[in-house]
Amino acid sequence: MASFLVGFLLPSLLLAGALTLVSVLLYPKALGGGLVFSGWIPFNSSIINQFTEDAKKTPILWSHGIDDKTVLLEAGQAALPFLQQAGVTCELKKEDGTFHTAAIGVLMELIGATAVYSAGGSHVSVDLNYSLYSTAKIQEEVKIEARLVGKKEDLNAAIIEIRRDYDEELIATGRLWMRLLMTSFNLYVKLNGVDQVSKL
Does residue 101 carry a pLDDT above 70? Answer: yes
> How does 43-63 read in b/e, with b if 16+ C-beta sit within 10 Å?
eeeeebeebeeebbebbbbbb
CATH of the domain at 144: 3.10.129.10
- The share of the chain scoring above pLDDT 70, in percent, equals 82
Does residue 195 carry a pLDDT above 60? Answer: no
Same domain, 80 and 156: no
Same domain, 42 and 12: yes
Same domain, 74 and 157: no
CATH of the domain at 33: 3.40.50.1820
Say how far apart CA 140 and CA 9 lie, in whole Å: 16
Same domain, 51 and 107: no
